[in-house]
Amino acid sequence: MKIRTTFLGFLGLSLLSFSCKEQEQERLKFKSETLILKEMNTDIEQTYSATLTGQQDVEIYPQVSGVISKICVKEGQQVNMGELLFIIDQRPYKAALQRAEANTAAAKSRVETAALTYKSKQALYKENIISEYELTTAHNELLEARAGQAQAEAEEESARNNLSYTEICSPSNGVIGTLPFRTGALVSPSITMPLTTVSDNNRMYVYFSMTENQIRPYIHEFGSLDSTVCNMPDIRLQLNDGTMYEMSGRIESISGIINPKTGTLSVRSVFPNRKKVLFSGSHGNVIISHKLKNVLVIPQSATYELQDKIFVYKVEHGKSVSTSVSVERLNDGNNYIVRSGLEPGDTIVKEGVGVLRDGMEISIKQTTK
């Protein structure tokens, strides 16, 4: 009787132990929705920091020294090519021109006198009244007088130009920038700060940089750098306050040289600015949309990060396998594009990866494609 009781007790313990193991194994099974990967087409947006400049920003410097006698424009004023901007005190330059004109007139008189003398000497020489030396001397004096006239005329032209430089006009259509100098300020061609800047901002140049890896997919798609410039899609501009500019732009040029300091290529794009809401010198972001073909897309919820690396759990033979992947974030904020680490047909755990461990059995709730 005692033996039978002992046997029954042992059998009960064995059944209880087996039941606990089954419960433990069932507890270790992870129930999750999985995802079978397949290639698909998707749109991706890439954002680049950008700087805006007018199509033509011209810094205005004086060509002569003097005191500013008049400022003819205001900051922010729209001006046309040739419109008067500044006047430098003209009195010393008018006086210099008058002196130069008088010197030119005197030089002309000397030439006329020398020409008459030489002509007279020629007649006397033919009559053998004077020597050849005297004739040559008269000729040289005429040449010297003509050289003096040429020099006087050049000085007059220089004086006339200097007087014209006292009126500083706009070299292009545009908008006046800041005016750091006031009437009465002494300026010269050697000043380090311009009198102002005229910005032609009917069209705005927007500069940004792309790495070689960022530009290569476009070159592979379009065949060459020139073809890439011609066929790149229209781009959008996000302003400094976060709003989107209403008009699209286009890429106009891509430098063919990588900057060794930054490792990037310089890109110039152009945006219309008819309403004058874009300002030269401001900053923003260029957004380029690009369609990617035959790529793998996974949800961010299927990934976890460890030591600055991204991992997913593949399902192999019913168990979880931690796998490192290289990804690129999509603009929807919910998905990644897989660059490496996964292949079409792979099955991954779609959610709950934060509590998973390597080797855990996966109980599939639902498989999606």
**CATH number for the 30-40+295-368 domain, one of 3.40.50.300, 3.30.56.10, 1.20.120.530, 2.40.420.20?**
2.40.420.20
User: Which pLDDT does position 361 carry in this prediction?
Assistant: 85
- Neighbouring-strand partners of residue 47: 287
* Range 46-54+200-293: architecture per CATH: Beta Barrel (2.40)
Q: Which residues pair with 316 in a beta bridge?
A: 319
What pLDDT is stored for residue 355 in this prediction? 82
Phi-psi region of 304 (alpha: psi -120 to 50; beta: other; left: phi over 0): beta
Supply the CATH classification number for the domain 90-165.
1.10.287
Name the helix (H) or strand (E) containing 13.
helix 2-28
**Number of other residues whose CB lies within 10 A of the CB of residue 206:** 26
In which residue are the tokens 């798609």 written?
221
Q: How far apart are CA 185 and CA 183, in angstroms?
A: 6
Sequence-separated contacts (24+) of 313-317 with Cβ below 8 Å: 313/348, 313/349, 313/353, 313/356, 314/342, 314/346, 314/347, 314/348, 315/34, 315/347, 315/348, 315/349, 315/362, 315/364
Q: Please state whether the predicted TM-score (pTM) of the whole model is above 0.85.
A: no
| Cβ neighbours of 24 (radius 10 Å) | 9
Q: How far is CA 16 from CA 7, 24, 26, 27, 86, in A?
A: 14, 12, 15, 16, 102
Q: Where are the domains of the chain?
A: 30-40+295-368, 46-54+200-293, 62-89+169-193, 90-165
**Residue in 354, 304, 307 with CA at minimum distance from that of residue 327:** 304
294 three-state secondary structure: strand
Run means of pLDDT, 10 residues per run, the chain, 369 residues: 47 45 50 85 86 91 97 94 97 97 96 95 91 94 96 96 97 92 96 94 92 87 90 93 94 92 94 90 91 86 89 89 87 82 90 84 65
- CATH class of domain segment(s) 62-89+169-193: mainly beta
Tokens 């008067």, residue? Answer: 84
